A and B are shown apart, each in its own frame.
Chain A
């Protein structure tokens, strides 16, 4: 490596643990010209983006950074300003390949029905990346229209939404549509290596897990009530703080860590018990969501996953998953991980970009006609996080069976700019906050 810049050796090796996990990048060009089933009569994958936030735009960038011919042809958002600013960002990202961002004015859609117009455009693959409250209806519509779908996590905020997604997943399978869900740890090389070792029994009998998303929190509300034309716009602009749009942070973020435990265990919990509340983020501008949850998920075999998520800065924080077995422990913290067993210490670090790999893998499946559907676990991991929220909001022990059957729907079926949102502030501007012992997840 004469005359090359000295970059860290960990980057040069890509991954020290040396897993044999499949990395999608670089494979696809071999398949140009193979059987293809998309519109337009060439092998270009035409992509539509629904939800032009930072993550949706990131997902679009990754979808457009795969091998093979792919282009973004339609974008939709509730807000015009979102769409314009992110279109500009994407054009800047693809300055050297401008043909990949082909979204003329007549394929820019704004409003509550923008998702339908994007899906009805001549696209092969839709990225669903709005706040999660809207996901089930959008997913159902995309399946109905026969599109391949990449949707961000979580896929719903309530049990009716999860059931709707599960039903549509079955439809998608019948139509052989490819469904990706943005739980990118499932594509992350060091997690796949850890999974191999876990399933191989390296930890012995696994007794329990600890999973965390304890962090400083997310963005502060950026619009005041007076800056918005009405209450609905105010809540949609500041969507994170309203359970009906976001699901609360146990669902919106902590799903990642809960999903890892359920994935490794290959089962979902039967019961959850939890506690939580609002201790730090008490200002009415923070809507109605909690700032901390602690949940015990109990499984059929009497093992437990102990889960915490917290949005408080300047305290002990951790975003990680740890499994404890009779022969050792696994300690994963995203790009960093390790396994300590009676016989060895294994470092589990990866530097690949799982956000890219998940799109590489999905588009490879589309091009090769491989079956590919992450919808079921996407829905069930979403439901597990919702179960944790239900147990915490109510203070009760709640079974998965009962939770999944709940008819309590948080999201209105139809909405216009004249609609009143499902939660409203009192005359002091305060929103209803769930009270344990009083709140019911069923009525």
Chain B
């Protein structure tokens, strides 16, 4: 306990001050094209009125691949984040409870599947175009320029299934880079949710331990965990959704959020109401970062709405090469992600300041060379040597 506090104490204040600054100005940024009249209001309480409330569910098609995924609107609002001290199975990192306000966004109805993820990681869209002799669109050209991961050394499904199953074992960086690619590819801005957005969406207006209530025995209707999943992840969307139409928020795979892990909720951030808080990680510290919702590999209490998972070097322990890959967590078979699309999208500089995208320095030269698959001859292969473009 002391070790952890000491290790992170040095950087916390700096990071938090930047975050507070960021969240204060977030509301002033230009709204997305689809909701031009929308403004984010600062008052607390019920979901916002106006165009934000007219956000509709939609299906995003990843062009040239036939792959699609669904998004549901999540109205902005205020909620109590974290769990009360007397909640069964609670860990101290779930407190103190905080009043948090989040702005509206769309959220993936499901976890990102291998069908979606592999288009990016294995360049399926580019190869399909080449084979069919189709010219890339302007969006394709921008998407093609986004950095992609090196090849995995083994098959990353670990025999648990591919089509329709959630993608797993990617690093936080890889999940964020996928979102950069998806944004270029579709022309809509996607990113990981903040930890606050994730919990807000998971709770869907509830304050019980689970979004279905307080009885872990009801879990089998809603969530895959170690008791119900046959020792592996399961196809997305087979169980009941939460009240806001989101599937598998509890269980199946834990889901990356943008935030760095802290041993309590937002230490050092004062005030009655936190607006769009996010704890921005440092590029030089790969750990610890947060994944939420628990997984097929965990007991029921780790699937609670407030439960937090902290990434650590063990998630990469069986990557046998030095340097290790920046793209794969060889031992995080329980971790995936889902995307969100914020209604309001600030400028690139602000997005990086808020940790919405890969941080400067997070993609290392070694990481482009390969790590896990590289035998160390010093030069990156041409097909991964692409720089992240603005």
Contact = CB atoms under 8 A, between A and B. Distances in A.
A362 to B, nearest CB: 16
A338 B381 contact: no
A55 B322 CA distance: 7
B155 A6 contact: no
Interface string B118-161: 10001010010000000000000000000000111111011110
Interface residues of B, number: 62
A58 B322 contact: yes
Contacts, number: 171
B251 interface: no
Interface string B308-338: 1110101001101111000000110110000
Contacts of A58: 320-322
Contact of A10 (B298, B308, B375): B298
A95 to B, nearest CB: 13
A137 to B, nearest CB: 20
B1 A3 contact: yes
A82 interface: yes
B263 A220 contact: no
B295 interface: yes
B299 interface: yes
SS of A interface (majority): mixed
B308 to A, nearest CB: 5
A89 B158 contact: no
A335 B331 CA distance: 7
A347 B310 contact: no
B377 interface: yes
B378 A335 contact: no
SS of B interface (majority): loop
Contact of B298 (A8, A221, A319): A8
A4 interface: yes
A6 B376 contact: no
Nearest to B384: A220
Interface residues of A, number: 65
Contact of A338 (B231, B295, B297, B317): B231
A331 B317 CA distance: 22
B92 interface: yes
A439 B186 CA distance: 50
A355 B157 CA distance: 21
A443 interface: no
Given A82-B377, A85-B378, A219 B370 contact: yes
Nearest to B162: A316
Contacts of A216: 122, 151-152, 155
Contact of A219 (B118, B159, B333, B374): B374
A237 B91 contact: no
A10 B376 contact: no
A3 B330 CA distance: 27
B378 A82 contact: yes
A54 B158 contact: no
A5 B153 contact: no
Interface of B: 1, 4, 91-93, 118, 122, 124, 127, 150-155, 157-160, 162, 230-232, 254, 261, 263, 288, 295, 297-299, 302, 307-310, 312, 314, 317-318, 320-323, 330-331, 333-334, 370-383
5 contacts: A5-B263, A6-B302, A11-B314, A90-B322, A333-B158
Given A3-B4, A53-B377, A215-B154, 10 more contacts: A3-B92, A8-B298, A8-B309, A54-B323, A82-B377, A85-B378, A93-B322, A313-B122, A335-B333, A336-B160
